[in-house]
Amino acid sequence: MSEIKIKVNQLTRVEGHGNIHLEATDGKLDRVLWEVTESPRFFEWMLKNRHYDDVSTISSRICGICSIAHTTASLQATEAAFNIKLSEQSWLLRKLLYDAELLESHVLHVLFLVAPDFLKADSVIPLVATHGDVVVMAVRMKKLAYNLAEILAGRKTHPITPVVGGWAKLPDIEALKAIRERLDKAVDDAETMVAVVKSLAPGIPAFDRPTEYIALKDNREYAFITGKIASTDGGTVNLNDYAKVTNEFCVPQSSSKYARHKRDSYMVGALSRFNLNADQLLPKAKKAARELGLKAPVTNPFMISVAQTVETMHALEDAINIIDKLLARGIHEEEVKVKPRAGRGVGIVEAPRGMLIHDYTYDDSGHIVSANCIIPTGQNHLSIQKDFDTLAPTILDKPEEEIRHTLEMLVRSYDPCISCSVH
């Protein structure tokens, strides 16, 4: 009898704690499990009775990688509850800040966390010696994104200035002009990133498992913080009705809730956005997609990093366009007016890893009565598990080390944000 037993405790190069567990006898799969072991933090309860002015500060701490996404979803939920419309200037700045996060997060994931898988390295550290130029380029891009966020929000992780209804402090025009030049130069870096990913692409495992792809959709632009919920299986759902899509439920092997819509699982994130909205990418990003041979619909989850690379280019172009608009119209002080009222508000954004939902109910003094947060990775856990179920039986004839590595790569390709999914 030949037995395979694989147990990966605390998968590395991902955010948060998750395990992989596989057992097979005589070439037959007994079980394969994706387990989430992260500690719950109970944000929904911690938000209770909190004043609206502190809510995004607290809820951004759900995640250190996508704290701008959490801040944005949180502010939009509160604004929806109070029926506040942002000024055009506030809106442009919010989108610009969003681009900064997308840029930073995608570069971190693709070049620091995923690339070592293809280069048979355990991390980015040995790559400093072998691929120094690319590492320096990646650090430079990350730093640029960080600095852009700093100019707008005071810092990248856990932004300070974005507040309900607008901005507590406006960015300096000179700083925006200076970063505009760095963004211009970074287009070359993004092209290098496309070339690097293209050179690694032959190492992407051939695997397809079509599923339902869900993302925001807006007919005006490639949606990140606007639009309605859309599915590749058809139809759109209003933000307030997100629960019809997410249908959260619990499973014993996971401290994160799971989600399921029409099929046995659905996916959110860069690939879903690409599958739904590829036509709306900006020109350089479209070119990058062509270069990388990415054409919707893509049904191989290992291609998520490739879609992230395309989005990196999109975020750069979008940031440059927004700064040009801001420089043309000037930046003016605006009074932030907030009048709390009792009611519910839902904010949904596309975090780097996918659809992120904050849903708050307020009392008339502007304190939270109840809160619900649904995280992209929570929605992807089941998709990871279903990929495991389909993929594992087809690779059992491979050496044990390769099976383990392929499963690890699969989880990593989703760019999971596990502590965020548990919150």
Partner 1 sequence: MKPRVAFFDFTGCEGCQLDALNLEPDELLGLLGAVDIVNFREVRTDRSDEYDIAFIEGSITRESEIARLKEIRERAAVLVALGACACTGGINCMKNAYETEELLKGVYGDCAAYYDTIPTRPADAVVKVDAYIRGCPPTTTEFVKVVKSLLLGKKADLPNYPVCTECRRAGNICVFQRGGTCIGPVTRAGCDALCVSAGRFCWGCRGLVDDPNLDSEKDILARYGLTIDQILEHFRIYNSCTEATQCQK
Say how far apart CA 13 and CA 291 lie, in whole Å: 27
In the bound complex, what is the minimum distance in angstroms from residue 290's beta carbon to partner 1? 31
Check if the beta carbon of residue 346 is closer than 8 Å to that of residue 178.
Answer: no
Summarize as ranges the residues that interact with partner 1 (CB under 8 A): 10, 12-17, 39-42, 44-46, 51, 54, 57-58, 61-65, 67, 108, 112-113, 116, 122-125, 128, 136, 139-140, 142-143, 146, 153-158, 160-161, 163, 167-169, 250-252, 254-255, 257, 419-420
Smallest separation, CB 214 to partner 1 (Å)? 24
- Considering only CA atoms, which of 206, 416, 189 is closest in space to residue 309? 189
Rounded to a whole number of angstroms, the minimum distance from the CB of residue 50 to ligand SF4 is: 16
Partner that binds at residue 112, options partner 1, ligand SF4, none, CB closer than 5 to 8 Å by kind? partner 1
Binder of residue 316, out of ligand SF4, partner 1, none (CB less than 5 to 8 A by kind) = none
Closest CB to partner 1 among 273 and 412? 412
Closest by CA to 349, choosing from 35, 68, 154, 104, is: 68
Alpha-carbon span 361 to 380, nearest angstrom: 26
The angle subtended at Cα 395 by Cα 389 and Cα 400, nearest 5°, is 110
Smallest separation, CB 252 to partner 1 (Å): 5
Measured CA distances, 25 to 1, 3, 214, 327 (Å): 7, 5, 36, 65
- For residues 70 and 261, which CB has a smaller minimum distance to ligand SF4 in the complex? 70
CB closer to partner 1, 252 vs 330: 252
Please provide residue 391's backbone torsions phi and psi, each rounded to the nearest 5 degrees.
-75, -45
Task: Answer with the entry of ligand SF4, partner 1, none that 149 interacts with (C-beta below 5 to 8 A by kind).
Answer: none
Residue 122 contact, options partner 1, ligand SF4, none, Cβ 5-8 Å cut-off depending on partner type: partner 1
Q: Are 296 and 274 in contact (CB under 8 A)?
A: yes
Binding partner of 188, given partner 1, ligand SF4, none, CB within 5-8 angstroms per partner class? none
Cα 349 to Cα 123, 190, 357: the distances in Å are 31, 24, 7
Of 203 and 293, the one with the shorter C-beta distance to partner 1 is 203
